[in-house]
Structure 1
Amino acid sequence: MSDKIRVRFAPSPTGPLHIGGVRTALFNYLFAKKLGGDFILRIEDTDQNRYVEGAEDYIVEALDWLQIPFDEGPGKEGDVGPYRQSERKHLYREYADMLLASGNAYYAFDTAEALEKLRNDYEAKGETFSYDAKNRDSLNNSLGLSEDEIQQKLDAGEDYVIRFKIPAGESLQFRDMIRGGMQIDTSILDDKVLFKSDGMPTYHLANIVDDHLMAITHVIRGEEWLPSLALHMLLYRAFDWQAPKFAHLPLILKPVGKGKLSKRDGDKMGFPVFPLEWKTEDGSIYNGYREDGYLPEAVVNMLAFLGWNPGTEQELFSLEELVNAFSLERVNKAGARFDPEKTKWFQHHYLQEMDEGVLTAQFKKYVEAKGFSTENMEVGVLVSLLKERATFMEDLWEQGHFFFEAPTNYDEKAAKKAFKDDTADILANVRDIVEKVEDFSAAELSKQVKGWIADQEIGFGKVMMPLRLSLVGEMKGPDVFEIMALLGKKEAINRIQSAINVIKS
């Protein structure tokens, strides 16, 4: 086995990548990078019936978006490729034959019908059929046949599978890096199929062979693979190979109630469970974190805390800081509850931290995509005014859309309160003051208008409420004088005049 740390993320291209899979990829990446190792992507596509077009590209794009790219994999060939199992088919039969030759595997000629009958017979007695050490000698397999009889069946073209021969009555002990020491009685294990009648390996054989040939030192994968660990350890022993170290990550749980996080939870509570948007052949669209406006840094920071903690109070980590802080010793055994609100908290932080020039450019693009011009607007100043209360790009628009589109009506409840008999005259005075201001800055506008309010001894609200309504259409937005300065003299006066016209009509 290699001295260099080598880990792999090995998804099946059967649809969009769930965030549970992304979390597995992230933890593999962090572990490898902290120890100067390699992060490998292997596409486990031996089940061609479930293969979905575009799923592999989706996986690669998601890893790139999250800035956790692989070192070796499809399109980044290393010395141990190819990295798609469908392109490695020729390898697996050789290793199945090695197990047959050593007596660790056997041919099973049982038909699907015969096995179905056995299952039904057992069920009728209230029992469960298992192809295992207790009954394998009485079934239709090569264990009780001579070499000649086996060859005759093979020559006759009888369908068969190759099963692993689980050693009987053994107490198997092994260690998981997260869960510690474990023990299992082999009598509860069944003889799993390693090679199918269609000439393809099952997951168990292909996975072990590939991990060995790719010199994988640590297998970091989801808890759902824990029941397969005993078989995989026995396979390593049967091949006389050194097994990698294993670490099984805790499940990601629903935000409420029990059970594993699913797409339905996201649909129900309005958050994505996929990194990128996914469109199915039937036209269904699954939301993605990217398309919903999340920043990759926020998603990575959120995923890191699903099952891991740094042992300190720190919650905000750059990718580099995560690499330095990460260790499998601080990964929990218990399931990690997903918190959509915490994800938004991370998103808010990273939007505030974002380079203002980049944020401004992105907001300009967002506004223009909605069909509005940004030509006469100081978008950078606007962004700095609005961003404190924004979590997503759409929040900036929600808070500042009125800068790009003048109000065509006024909030009914606010207008009833703000627009009185003397309001048109008050606004006309404000309009005249604004028209005379030469230095059209927020500070100068504030000085002139507030000075006039003080001189006239008018209630502050009598002026400021209708003024805000005339500019915005609602009682929201930043400082009124900042709004006027950004709108410019001509637009500010036009809006005040429009409000006067409405009040007078």
Structure 2
Amino acid sequence: MSNEHMAELLFPDVNQLPADIYSLYPPRKLPSSALVTRFAPSPTGSLNIGGLYATLISERLAHQSNGVFFLRIEDTDKKREIKDSIENIIHSLLYFGVDFDEGPLFSGNEKGAYGPYKQSSRIQIYKVFIKHLVLEGLAYPCFCDTDDLQKIRINQQKLKVTTGYYGKWAKHRDITFQQAEEEFLNGKPFVIRLKSTGSSDRRISYHDLVKGPLEFPENNQDIVIMKTDGLPTYHFAHAIDDYLMGTTHVIRGDEWLSSVPIHIQLFETLGFRIPEYGHIAPIMKQVGASKRKFSKRKDLDGTAEYYKEQGYPGIALSEYFMNLINSDFEEWRMANPHQSFRDFFIHTDKMNASGALLDMNKLNDVSKDVISRLTGKQVFDHLYTWAKEFDSELYFLMDKNKEYTINILNIGRTMKKPRKDYAKWSDVLPMIAFFYDELFEKDVLSGYQLPTNVSFDVAKEIVLGFSKTYKFSNGKDDWFNEIKELAGDLGFAKDMKQYKANPDHYKGHVGDVAMVIRVALTNRTTTPDLFDIMKVMGEKRVFERMQKFILS
């Protein structure tokens, strides 16, 4: 009877029973093979790449099994919450192609039948279960303040025993209703603790989805499940939510491994089915000759936002992560170059149990491959969206020259082996700036970058000669033959073989002549195919630039 009185004393306004809550969260109607996974971040800043990596694994496991992947925001620690974090998390997930089936939306609404999906909106649900545990004698109020806990800790250290709130050190474990009532009526703050049935002398066996079979000592600590502000701890809230929302598999960082005994005990005490856990090692950063974890404070490249700002297509980072998730993805990609990475099935038992290194060179190669598979129009659309947020100059140029820009971006894209120029959207403008007249004119103010073996006078002679014979309607063969004939007329070898046989006899070779024309039109010595460039630039612009060069 005293447990019932205790429960009513502490939670007089909680009138529902666990059964009432269960009726609101019926079992999901899914095939037995379907997985239900989640991403449950705290809104304390930008999404980090470790979180994004774990989330992609969770999303893939759910969707490749025709299951459900949901987003839940664990926002009960209001002191640490940062403004706009939830919006940032949602935006990052969508940008990187991690689609959630249920969860909060930009609008402030939610989708899905198992919400609310913000823990701050679920406080009453947690209290129903906490009250029930008190009623069953499985949890109790603890009125210890900071000084009380410190005294316990000092005594434990003197005796060289494990520190914590457990067993005989749990001062309020067997508190009577009368004692609790007195403290409560005096306004003494309290927490609710779980009455642990564990012993550190006993061990539990547990099979991790990533690390395999593991053993831990049982949890013997009477952990806090409700704080003095009435809010649940992470440990308790996640157990309630994962059960009610039907979570079957949880992927998280291996810093949570030490919490496994607590979580297993919580699920068992509550009578819930325990989800399967997979603990992944952190993604590592190369610093000099050593590797280390990414630091939230020191590493800007440790956030998902950084890769978005740099202009890595969201799908590129997700595809790169697939290489880290399962090493046989690369072989699969080579055999299936045109399929979506989502067609590859991941397996947790093939995952890297130690920390995978974020290799920027490999990421750039993967991103180049991803971008090379897009059409000019698709590249334009992605680039336009990115530039609108991050590069106003490029956005202005694209907006003013839409068709022209699509044609620029389409150069080298229609071949069997398309060009792989761009690793990220921020690479694009420096590589195509010469196409835009306003940027080209700025560039040539400081002079043309001619090859060292051709004088400016000879270069002008080349461009003048070419301008007299050039016909925009010519095909590529006729166009190149014109350049060869011009080379011969001006004392250059018509081909490399001829030049190499007698280099002293010529001013240079046909490649030098083509290079001068390239510089006159682009002020670059390295560009995509010159014929394609001229076709995109159009006859008027080509002749204007040649004339400008001749008169410079």
TM-score (norm 2): 0.78
CA contact (8 A) 1:104 1:165 kept: yes
Aligned to 1:34: 64
Change (3 A) 1:442 1:378: farther
Per-residue Cα deviation, 1:252-286 (whole angstroms, up to 9, x for no partner): 1223434322345644xxxx33333xxxxxxxxxx
1:484 to 516, 528, 534: 534
Residue 101 (structure 1) shift = 3.1
Q: What residue in structure 1 maps to residue 250 of structure 2?
A: 219
For 1:43-58, list aligned pairs within 5 A.
43-58=73-88
For each residue in 1:394-441, what CA deviation from the matched residue of structure 2 results, as whole angstroms up to 9, or x when unmatched?
A: 43432322121335246676365422554433433233223xx36255
Hey, what does 2:283 align to over in structure 1? 252
CA contact (8 A) 1:44 1:86 kept: yes
Change (3 A) 1:323 1:262: farther
Counterpart in 2 of 1:419?
Answer: 455
Aligned twin of 1:207: 238
Q: Which runs of 5+ in 2 are unaligned?
A: 1-26, 388-392, 414-418, 493-507
| Other-structure match for 1:404 | 436
Q: How does 1:45-124 map to 2 (within 5 A)?
A: 45-74=75-104, 75-119=109-153
Q: Does structure 2 retain, via aligned residues, the 8 Å contact 1:13–1:44?
A: yes
Q: Give 2:123's aligned amino acid.
A: K
Asked whether the equivalents of residues 217 and 261 of structure 2 are also in contact (C-alpha less than 8 Å), the reply is no
Normalised TM-score (structure 1): 0.85
Quick check: 1:152 aligned with 2:178?
no
Match of 1:300?
318
Instruction: Tell me if structure 2 keeps the 8 A contact 1:418–1:465.
Output: no
Which 10-residue stretch deviates more, 228-237 or 367-376? 367-376
Match runs of 1:91-490 below 5 Å: 91-119=125-153, 129-133=163-167, 135-136=169-170, 139=171, 141-143=172-174, 145-166=175-196, 167-168=198-199, 169-186=201-218, 189-256=220-287, 257-263=290-296, 266-267=299-300, 272-276=301-305, 287=306, 289-310=307-328, 313-315=331-333, 321-322=341-342, 324-361=344-381, 369-371=395-397, 373-374=400-401, 377=404, 379-380=406-407, 383-385=410-412, 387-405=419-437, 406-407=440-441, 408-409=444-445, 414=450, 416-434=452-470, 437=471, 439=473, 441-458=475-492, 459=508, 460=510, 463-490=513-540
Supply the distance in 1 between the matched residues of 2:539 and 2:446 (Cα, whole angstroms).
Answer: 21
> Residue 250 of structure 2 aligns to a residue in which SS?
strand
Q: Structure 1's 468 and 419: CA in aligned 2 closer, same or farther, altered over 3 A? A: farther
Within 2, Cα distance between the matches of 1:30 and 1:61? 18
Give the drift of 1:474.
Answer: 2.9
**Unmatched 5+ residue regions in structure 1?**
277-286
Which deviates further from its counterpart, 417-426 or 147-156? 417-426
- In the alignment, structure 1 residue 501 sits paired with structure 2 residue 530: no
Identify if the C-alpha distance between structure 1 residues 135 and 378 changes in structure 2 by more than 3 Å, giving closer, same or farther. Answer: closer
Equivalent-residue separation in structure 1 for 2:365 and 2:547 (angstroms): 41
Q: Secondary structure at the match of 2:50?
A: helix
Contact 1:254 1:262 in 2 (8 A): no
The one-letter code sitting in structure 2 at the alignment partner of 1:273 is G
CA contact (8 A) 1:193 1:202 kept: yes
Please report how far the alpha carbon of residue 178 of structure 1 lies from its aligned counterpart in structure 2 after TM superposition.
Answer: 2.0
Q: What one-letter code is carried by the residue in structure 1 that aligns with 2:513? A: V
User: How much does 1:10 deviate?
Assistant: 1.0
Change (3 A) 1:190 1:315: farther
How many angstroms does 1:33 deviate by? 1.3
Q: CA deviation at 1:53?
A: 2.0
- Distance apart, 1:52 and its partner CA: 1.8
SS of alignment partner, residue 62 of structure 2: helix
Secondary structure class of the residue paired with 1:48: coil
Write the distance in 2 (CA, Å) between the matches of 1:184 and 1:302: 34
In structure 2, what is the Cα distance between the partners aligned to 1:375 and 1:87?
A: 46
Are the equivalent residues in 2 in contact too, given 1:178–1:329 (CA < 8 A)? yes
Please tell me whether residue 18 in structure 1 is matched to residue 48 in structure 2.
yes
- Equivalent residues of 1:175, 1:181 under 8 A apart: yes
Superposed CA offset, 1:212-243 (max 9, x none): 11122222222121111100111111122221
Distance of aligned partners of 1:377 and 1:135 in 2 relative to their CA distance in 1, 3 Å threshold: closer
Q: Which amino acid aligns with 1:296?
A: G
Q: What percent identity do the matched residue pairs reach?
A: 27
Cα distance in 2 for partners of 1:354, 1:24 equals 27
Q: Give, as a single letter, the amino acid of the residue that structure 2 aligns with 1:338.
A: L
Match of 2:44, SS state, is coil
Deviation digits for residues 348-385 of structure 1 (CA, Å, limit 9, x no counterpart): 00100012322245567867624474378474255324
Report the residue type matching 1:252 in the other structure: I
Larger deviation: 413-422 or 50-59?
413-422
Structure 1 pair 320–474 and aligned structure 2 pair: CA distance change class (3 A):
closer
Counterpart in the other structure of 1:279: none
Q: 1:477 to 1:112 in 2, by over 3 A?
A: same
Cα distance in 2 for residues equivalent to 1:375 and 1:70 = 33
Counterpart CA distance in 2 for 1:342 and 1:392 is 13
Judged with a 3 Å threshold, the aligned counterparts in structure 2 of structure 1 residues 263 and 112 are, in CA distance, closer, same or farther, namely closer
Deviations 1:28-83 (A, max 9, x none): 11111122211121111111111222111222222222332222222444332211
Would the alpha carbon gap of residues 388 and 213 (structure 1) be closer, same or farther in structure 2, given more than 3 Å must change?
A: closer
Cα distance, 1:100–1:360 mapped onto 2, change above 3 Å = closer
1:323 is displaced (CA, Å) by 5.2
**Within 2, Cα distance between the matches of 1:186 and 1:163?**
17
Q: Is the 8 A contact 1:16 1:274 kept in 2?
A: yes
More displaced stretch, 34-43 vs 81-90: 34-43
Q: How many Å separate the matches in 1 of 2:315 and 2:173?
A: 56
Q: Sort the Cα spacing of 1:14 and 1:362 in 2 relative to 1 into closer, same or farther, 3 A.
A: closer
Q: What is the number of residues matched between the two proteins? A: 480
Q: In structure 2, do the counterparts of structure 1 residues 40 and 332 end up closer, same or farther at CA, with 3 Å as the change threshold? A: same
- Segment of structure 1 superposing worse, 123-132 or 350-359: 123-132
